A and B are shown apart, each in its own frame.
Chain A
């Protein structure tokens, strides 16, 4: 499953600040199972959309190696919040990438992720 252009779309991207605004597709099949009649964006899907946004920034594929910490601070119901601003800060060293990502809607923080990836 690829989330980009199915589960979410990129509305706006600013390379200078690393900020990407995305729109969530509340009708996506993921929400049928998580949960019926009560859509909540799964934490693992939030991890995956950050992974895909990192690849969008890098313009190459990466795989997840480790997660030091990921915090999911607020329930992300797409009917209540259909867009997110994702701020991604990363450093590349050889084939390793250290990522720090934050997902927000206005002043509400939904997630903070610190993870390591490696070039595929």
Chain B
């Protein structure tokens, strides 16, 4: 475990109620792994299911946290980051309250402060959603 939930705010610019990542399990130059548990106060719940919006945001915040973690010697605090593009997105299923999702994000390409990342969200090894994100300003 690289970063635990209690410290996640040191690694991402988002704050409650918009924090959609808990722990950074691993981060290296190719791949970041995170997890996130869905509680009943999550703003993206619809009934007992979590909206796909929260899963996309979870991938974006996993990227932000991992990028800051591996670039800490260059930046003193996490900068506000933005999703500039979403593509190749497929929704397979949605998690429920009480579920813990696992997310893998991979570097595809970097140009200056623009990053193209691929993200996959899993629940018990079953893929819930995948997409590519273009992120800027991290």
Residues of A within 8 A of B (CB): 1-2, 29-30, 32-36, 38, 40, 42-45, 47-48, 63-73, 75, 115
**Number of interchain pairs (Cβ within 8 Å):** 83
CB-CB under 8 A for A72 and B85, given A35-B14, A47-B56, A66-B91: yes
User: What's the Cα separation between A68 and B45 when bound, in Å?
Assistant: 24
A-B contact pairs, 8 of them (CB 8 A): A1-B43, A34-B14, A43-B56, A44-B53, A44-B83, A64-B91, A67-B86, A67-B131
CB <8 Å contact, A72 and B83: yes
Chain B residue total in the interface (Cβ 8 A):
30
CB <8 Å contact, A75 and B82: yes
CB <8 Å contact, A1 and B45: yes
4 additional contacts (CB under 8 A) given A33-B17, A70-B87: A30-B17, A33-B19, A35-B80, A68-B87
Main secondary structure, interface of A, reads mixed
Residues of B within 8 A of A (CB): 13-19, 43-46, 51-54, 56-57, 60, 80, 82-91, 131
